[in-house]
Structure 1
Amino acid sequence: MVILIFMLVLWYTGLFFQSFFLHRYAAHQTFTMSDFTEKVCFFLTWVFQGSNYLSAYGYGIMHRLHHAYVDTEKDPHSPKYDNNMFSMMWRTKNIYQDINNKRISLDEKFTKNAPQWKSFDAFASSNFTRIAWGLAYTIFFYFFVTSWWQWMLLPVAFFMAPIHGVIINWFGHIVGYTNFKVDNTSKNLLPIDFLMMGEGYHNNHHKHSGRANFGGVRWHEIDPTYYIMLLLNGLHIIRLKKSAVSVKQ
């Protein structure tokens, strides 16, 4: 039971900071926050993603490229141009690293205001730190595993962020339903997105990429991340942009 709770906590906390901080803030800038709060989010993203830590700078720019070139050869991740999900994610990893390490030149429209904390990213993305997290997960499993099959969850802990990514970037363009006719293959994965905290409403998001609420098109499309954002906005921890909450986008 302890292992299952641990995996659920890792799944949803890591997913929340990927959706809230990396996606809706770094990529789409649907809200603003203070410099101090931004650094807290960097730190908490590292804590909850652990060995899977993704830089807000690298993720944010890569996702902007995805929207600009969706389902074309320039898309960092599209099922149309890879034979399987593993080759797609390997290509995604390489593009992310090239962006994060500034090995490729990019138009300013993709890099503008992308949040970056260079010293922290260097630490959090280092092999030493990733291995340390991996060892911590393994030690935790050693003490709390109660059945052999629970060890099968350990690789999921090691690679949880890539698993989150492949669910949306692969399956979110293959299976599901659509609310909008768009010029790409994006789909809504589940009528009620209990699995991806709103990220699963991918078709909605591609139609209204600047909107903070990925759900809300149909009565059952509830976006948990958005409601947490509303709470944080009410507490004045973040400030949602008026354009991001407008229903007229």
Structure 2
Amino acid sequence: MSGGRHRLVRGPDCTTDHAFEPDAARAVYRAIFERRDMRHFAGGTVPPDTLRRLLRAAHHAPSVGFMQPWRFVRVTDAALRQRLHEVVELERRRTARALGEREDEFMRLKVQGLLEAAEVLAVALTDGREKHVFGRRTLPQMDLASAACAIQNLWLAARAEGLGMGWVSLFEPADVAALLELPPGAEPIALLCLGPVHGFYAEPMLQQQRWASRQPLHELVHDNRWGQASDVFSVGECRS
């Protein structure tokens, strides 16, 4: 795996009759640890059978109440891609201004590859979601959580296929909805750039650029109540 930093270590207590074979399990963890939010693409194409496999993987994501709120719009029209690119660039400048003292630093970051990626997929939450009450009566945002699971499935499958993917969220939803002619009530949540890349980043690009860094896991896991350190990170165990 990347730089040998991530290893699957499985002791006797971790194995069950339902576990994958070690090589298969390592492949799952490899896809997780080597997945990257890609912004640099090499053009090319994604074969139709590969794209179908990726979309099938996305469609097999879990969803609250089995509502399956995800909808995908494949953007193949060059003029439409250009319009989406312009919408993203407008929001990029607005975001930069909102960041204040980090404006210039942000503007130096590459935040999307809409014009270079082999494929662009818009992901939207479907209309009529209000009828799905199961699991959403007190947490209506679970439609978004479910769609995010579908995107992650697609992302991991893409990495396994050797394809890069980037999630673009810098846009005004109403502008993207209008461009894609979404029905009332549908909500765009992502523009996915997908396709061949020259190489995968050794670490998340924003970490490479010193924009942010991954937080230590042991600081984010608690036992029983917020702020109580978890026993899962015992002395001598990895705390990364």
Q: TM-score, normalised by structure 2?
A: 0.28
Of structures 1 and 2, the one with the larger relative CO (CA 8 A, separation 6+) is 2
Q: Which has the higher helix share?
A: 1
Q: Which has the higher strand share?
A: 2
Please identify the structure whose Cα radius of gyration is greater.
Answer: 2
